[in-house]
Structures are given as structure tokens and as C-alpha cells.
Amino acid sequence: MKVAHLIITYTNPLQTERMIQQMQHPDFDFYIHVDAKFTLESHSNLNQYSNVYFIQNRVDVQWAAYSTIQAEFNGLQEILDSARTYDFISLMSGQDYPIKTAAQMQSFFEERKGKLLLKYRAFSGEWEEGMQRVNKYHLTDFRFRGQFFLERIINTLFKRTNQPKGMKFYGSSMFWAISPEAAEYVLQTVDRNLKMRRFFRYSWAPDEFLFQTILLNSPFASKVINENCHYYKHPPNTPSPKTFDISDFADIIASDRLYARKFDMVKAPELLDKIDKFLATESLD
């Protein structure tokens, strides 16, 4: 069960290396997209690993913007263009950390062979506020003075009517694990289609609904399982998941997911130490 882990990161390169060390397996490769705000040399410590590859076509990633999607698309394209064959491509961030052994991860993916793992809720009837992401124009992919004022003017004067006809919207977490065939379908449908690319570019936080929407409106829909590989805690009324501390250890290891997020090795190194010890014990069983 060959898995390509696509890691979008800008954070601590030593934490990313520690994550990769814990996930070493003959069937796992790692593709690292380092945010274009930083040099590739900032993550040169990863050059020592033969199964680590750096994405060359890098993007300056902005929060809630289409640039996140573009970073994912560029990573997917380079994975597909490689001569390597994979069963899954799993999206991760530099603030993730494994909470299962590599052998347990392999079994997890084996049990889901042929499936696509994406968390989703339908905008209609389940996540009504999600429609605001596509019913209005959003300029989150840009950074200029007066940006939000201009956005308000545009949405006051113009009703957005360029949603793809007949498309039902679904979304939730940005993280997924999909097949190369499904990845190729998404690239063909959006990245190589100017009209679709423009639509998602002017939507808000498309990373949280683009893959779900495209695949659940596609011939791949029957393969989708409503789950992903991540465990996280989302405090009420906050846009980002909690950064874990040692008090979260019991909940983290009780999860049946493969990775958890978010972690900060500088602020809570003892938590990663404790997870490492737990995984070492699991490996002996």
C-alpha cells in the first residue's frame, strides 16, 4: 500500500523532520511544499532522507485563500508527474504528528483501499452558512490596502451568479486522502479549467470545500467515505483548531485517526515525547 504524503508547511523544519522520522516506512514517501515566503534551504535538514521530495513550483500561501489550493494542486501535479505509483495521496501540514505507528497506518490504508477519505457536510441543509463562501465575491487571495472595503462594494453592487450550474456544495476539513486518479480528476476539472479556477479563487477558504464538492459531484462520488485521517479539537467560535498541550494526551491516543493537529514542538515538547514513547510501546506489541 504505497502512500504519498503531501505536506504543506512553513513552520519548524525540525518538527517536520521529527514527524517524518516517526512515519518512516518502505511504502511511504513525503512531498514537502515549503511556503514560498521561505527558502528551501530552511528545510535542508530533510535532504538526508531518500523518500523526501521537495515541491519545486511553490506558492506564497495566504490563510483562507485560493493560494492554499494552488499549493496543493502544484504538489499533486508533481506527484503525478513522478515515475512513482501510489494507492493514496494524503494531505498533511507541518503541524501534524502521527498518533499511530507506521505499521498501523499501513493497515488503515489497506482497509480503505479503493476509497476516498474526505470529511464533508452538505451546504444545503447541514452547513447553510457555507453558502456565503460561494454566494459572494471574496478577495482573500489578494493583499492590498482597502481590500475589504472594495470587497463590500463589489458585493453591494453585484450579485454573484457564476456558480457552476447544477453543482451541490460540500465541505468540512481541508485534509483528505485520495487516489491519484481522483487527484487527476480534480486537476482536470479545476486547475486546467480557467472558468472553474476563477470561481474557486473568488470564494472564501476553498481548501475546506473544493475537493469535497468536485469529487461528490463526479463519477468518484460512490468511492467517498465521510472521514479523514486527522484528529483535532475545534474550540467553539474559533477559526482554527486548538494547539495541543500535555493535557490533551489521553484524548489524542484514544483517537482512531492516524495523525493529530496542531502541535508546537517548542511550546509543548513534552507532549511529543510522550506520544513517541507511546508509539514505541505500540511497535513492540
CATH code (residue 249): 3.90.550
Tell me which DSSP letter residue 130 carries: G
- Asked if residue 104 lies in contact with residue 21, where contact means CB atoms within 8 angstroms, the answer is no
What is the structure's pLDDT at 238? 81
Task: Provide the domain count of the chain.
Answer: 1
The pTM (predicted TM-score) of the whole model is 0.96
The owner of cell 515538547 is 269
Helix intervals (H) in the chain: 13-22, 66-81, 102-111, 123-126, 132-135, 147-157, 180-186, 194-201, 210-216, 249-254, 269-284
What is the structure's pLDDT at 284? 79
Q: How far apart are CA 207 and CA 171, in angstroms?
A: 9
Asked if the bond preceding 262 is cis, omega within 30° of 0, the reply is: yes
Distances (CA, A) of 5 to 37, 177, 250, 275: 22, 9, 26, 20
Domain with 234, as residue range(s), is 3-284
Tell me which DSSP letter residue 86 carries: -
Tell me which DSSP letter residue 34 carries: E
pLDDT under 50: residue ranges of the chain: none
What is the structure's pLDDT at 237? 78
Count helices and strands in the chain by DSSP H and E runs:
11, 12
Indicate the pairing of strand 52-54 with strand 28-34.
parallel
Q: How far apart are CA 65 and CA 254, in angstroms?
A: 33
Could you give the strand order of the β-sheet that contains 224-225, starting from the edge strand earlier in sequence?
52-54, 28-34, 3-9, 88-93, 176-178, 116-118, 224-225
- Asked if residue 49 lies in contact with residue 30, where contact means CB atoms within 8 angstroms, the answer is yes
Q: What is the CA radius of gyration of the chain?
A: 19
- Asked if residue 98 lies in contact with residue 259, where contact means CB atoms within 8 angstroms, the answer is yes
